Structure 1
Amino acid sequence: MKYNFDKVINRKESNCRKWSNHVLKEKFDLDETAIPMDLADIDFECAPAIKEAIMKRASVGDYSYTFISDEFYESVINWNKRRFNVDIEKEWIKLTFGTVSTLHYIVQAYTKIGEGVLINTPAYDPFAEAIENNNRKLYCSPLKLEDNRYYLDFKDIESQMKTGNIKVYIFCSPQNPSGRVWTKDELYQLSELCLKYNVLLVSDEIHRDVVFKGDKFISLWNAHPEIQRTSIICVSPNKGFNLGGLKTSYVLAQNKEVREILLEQLKSNSITSPNVFAIPAITAAYDHGEEWLDEMGEYVYGNFEIVYDFFRNNIPEAKVMESDSSFLAWIDVRGLFKNEDEAKSFFKAANVTMVVGSYFVQDGEGFIRLNIGCPRNTLNEALNRIKHTYETLYCK
């Protein structure tokens, strides 16, 4: 590999939330020796092109209000075409301050108090927060678990659209926490239902930059010829390129009427000039970071293979779901722990953090999520701690 993903950087020096001694103590009652595998960011040094672009911008010595340059739009258009075969135009792109806050704005813009928003569960908890914090009604359609893989329940989705007052469907593609990449046929069926029941389909595609084994990620807009007119795509370089601290993402809205409703909502929330380092970071990532991203994805897939083998050979009661994307391992631990309290106690004893399945709104109980986007030394040390704890507690 051209890039060194084995390099361990001291993220405590950057005031990183995941590695913060204060957070480890307050949230998990662990000390500074703990290995955090909870928060969804990666532990690799960022792509050199991004670092160089930010340092160049910082050297100017002017950090006042800025604007969105044509260079940004060109980078976004070219990246979406080159990487995902999605044709977009400048007018369809709107830079926002992070996907989570954008979901709040979308819920505010396209629904009224008391109206419904649908999600699939288990789901990233801020999906539900964006709905419930704005006094909208949360509808959940559980994913079907078959042979340790998730599938959409189209009958249940249609039943909820038919009987509920659902105006918006927030859909995760690829899916978090499982890393499931949806097929074109699945996306087509989903689009058909949204068109049939006049539901705005919001596709969160922030994990799409890291996809394994040649699995072809299909963007929503390439799945159905009519879905562009009644959908929004949420995009971010934050997961693949680890830019979460810049609070930067963007949305794609082709339909002018749909787009103007969102722009009015953003205006009412005073979403104005971007983070001063955001534009140079994104353009550097998209224009010069593709090789780094591909190698990072290859490295993380190697981490998954290590994790698959580790649990299969050492803790077979835990079933790791095969992931198509990203750096988050979703593990069925119902055969190992009686409840989540036991799971928490186990990982506390191992001095490793994770996310319990109940965090993911509903239908995640009995699972845990481990972030394995880290150097091999870190991963192997965490797995050794888990193995030692398992042997101490369960192999007497």
Structure 2
Amino acid sequence: MKYDFDHVIDRKLGKCRKWDNKILKEKFGLNENAIPMDLADLDFECSPAIKKAMVDRAALGDYGYTYAYDEYYDALISWNKRRFHVDIKKEWIKLTFGTCGTLHYIVQCFCKPGDAVMINTPAYDPFAEAVEHGGCRLICNSLKLENMRYYLDFETMEKQMVEEKVKLFIFCSPQNPSGRVWTKEELHRLSELCIKHNVLLVCDEIHRDVIFDCASFTTLWNAHEEIADYSIMCVSPNKGFNLGGLKSSYIIIKNKEIRECFLAYLQKVYVTSPHVFAIPAIVAAYNKSEEWLDELTQYISENFEIVYEWFETHMPKAKVMKSDSSFLAWIDMRDVFENEEEITRFFTEANISMVIGSYFVADGENWVRLNIGTQKSILKEALSRIGEVYARWEKKER
């Protein structure tokens, strides 16, 4: 590899929330030697092009208000065309301050209190928070688990849409926490249901940059010829390029009526100029860091292979779902532990933070999500700790 992803950086120096000793102690009961595998960001140094762009911008010594200038739009349009084969226009794009906050705004803009909003479960909990904080009714459509792979339950989905009068659907593609990449046929059928029942489809594609088989991924707008007029795309460089601290997400809205309605709402809540470092970072990511991203994806794919093999060999009762994307391992612990209290005690003893399955709204109880977007040395140390604790637990009553 051209880039050294094995190089360990001290993320505590940058006051990284994921690695902060105080947070790890207060939230998880862990000590200063903990390995954090909960928060979904990467442990790697960003691409050299991004780092140079940030250093060059910082050297100017001017950190006043900025704006989304032409280089930004050109980079986004080129990236979406080159990487995902979708044509977008400048006027369809709006930079926002993070996808989670944007979901809150979308729910509040397009729904009235009491309206029904659908999500698939298990789901990233902020999806549910956006619905509930908007005073809306949360409609959970459970994913079907077959042979350790998730599938969309279209029959139940349509029934719920009709009976609950669903107004909006927050959909995750690729799916979090499983990393499932939906097929073009699945996305087409989903689109047809949303169009048929007049459901605004909000598609979160923030995990799409790290795909292990690029040919397998279809962006929503390429799955159905009409869905672009019935949807809002939420996109971000934050996961693949590790820019979460820059609040550099963006949305793409083709439909003029939907777009103008939402932009008017963003004016009400005063979403204005972007973070001064966000624009140069995104431009460097999309224009000069594609090779870096490809190598990162290969490295993470190798990490998954390490995880699959380790659990199959050392902890076979735990089942790791095969992931198509991202850096989050979704592990079924139902045959290993009796309940989530046991799981939490186990990982606390291993001095590892994780995300417990019940966090994911519904259908995730007694599962665990581990962030494996880290150096192989750290990953192997984490697995070693899990193995040592598991060996002790197998010898004693819990």
Q: What percentage of residue pairs aligned between the two structures are identical?
A: 63
* Number of the residue aligned with 1:110: 110
Aligned pair 1:95/2:95, yes or no? yes
Q: CA deviation at 1:216?
A: 2.1
Contact persistence 1:356–1:368 (CA under 8 A): yes
Aligned residues: 396
* Number of the residue aligned with 2:294: 294
Counterpart of 1:236, as a letter, is S
Query: For the residues of structure 2 that align with 1:24 and 1:31, how far apart are their CA atoms?
Result: 7
Contact persistence 1:109–1:265 (CA under 8 A): yes
* Number of the residue aligned with 2:122: 122
Aligned pair 1:202/2:202, yes or no? yes
How does 1:302-317 map onto structure 2 within 5 Å?
302-317=302-317
Deviations 1:180-230 (A, max 9, x none): 000000000000000000000000000000001345210000000110111
Query: For the residues of structure 2 that align with 1:308 and 1:275, how far apart are their CA atoms?
Result: 39
Query: For the residues of structure 2 that align with 1:224 and 1:334, how far apart are their CA atoms?
Result: 38
Deviations 1:352-377 (A, max 9, x none): 11100000001100210000000000
Query: For the residues of structure 2 that align with 1:384 and 1:56, how far apart are their CA atoms?
Result: 41
Q: CA deviation at 1:134?
A: 1.3
Deviations 1:342-396 (A, max 9, x none): 0000001111111000000011002100000000000000000000001111146
Q: Comparing 208-217 with 19-28, which one deviates more in the overlay? A: 208-217
Query: For the residues of structure 2 that align with 1:185 and 1:295, how far apart are their CA atoms?
Result: 29
Task: Give the 3-state SS of the residue equivalent to 1:326 in structure 2.
Answer: coil
Contact persistence 1:116–1:137 (CA under 8 A): yes
How does 1:240-319 map onto structure 2 within 5 Å?
240-319=240-319
Q: CA deviation at 1:294?
A: 0.4
Query: For the residues of structure 1 that align with 2:170 and 2:109, how far apart are their CA atoms?
Result: 14
Query: For the residues of structure 2 that align with 1:285 and 1:28, how far apart are their CA atoms?
Result: 33
RMSD, matched Cα? 0.7
* Number of the residue aligned with 1:179: 179
* Number of the residue aligned with 2:347: 347
Deviations 1:235-269 (A, max 9, x none): 00000000000011000000100101110111111
* Number of the residue aligned with 1:74: 74
Q: CA deviation at 1:96?
A: 0.4
Aligned pair 1:224/2:224, yes or no? yes
* Number of the residue aligned with 2:149: 149
Q: Provide the TM-score with structure 2 as the length reference.
A: 0.99
Contact persistence 1:215–1:324 (CA under 8 A): no
* Number of the residue aligned with 2:391: 391
Q: Provide the TM-score with structure 1 as the length reference.
A: 0.99
Query: For the residues of structure 1 that align with 2:5 and 2:260, how far apart are their CA atoms?
Result: 42
Query: For the residues of structure 2 that align with 1:229 and 1:339, how far apart are their CA atoms?
Result: 45
Counterpart of 1:186, as a letter, is E
Deviations 1:142-198 (A, max 9, x none): 000000000000011101101112111000000000000000000000000000000
Query: For the residues of structure 2 that align with 1:169 and 1:215, how far apart are their CA atoms?
Result: 26
Aligned pair 1:370/2:375, yes or no? no
Query: For the residues of structure 2 that align with 1:376 and 1:278, how far apart are their CA atoms?
Result: 29
Deviations 1:44-68 (A, max 9, x none): 0000100000110000000011111
Residue ranges of structure 1 left out of the alignment (5+ in a row) = none
Moved over 4 A (4+): none
Contact persistence 1:99–1:235 (CA under 8 A): yes
* Number of the residue aligned with 1:331: 331
Task: Give the 3-state SS of the residue equivalent to 2:271 in structure 1.
Answer: coil
Residue ranges of structure 2 left out of the alignment (5+ in a row) = none
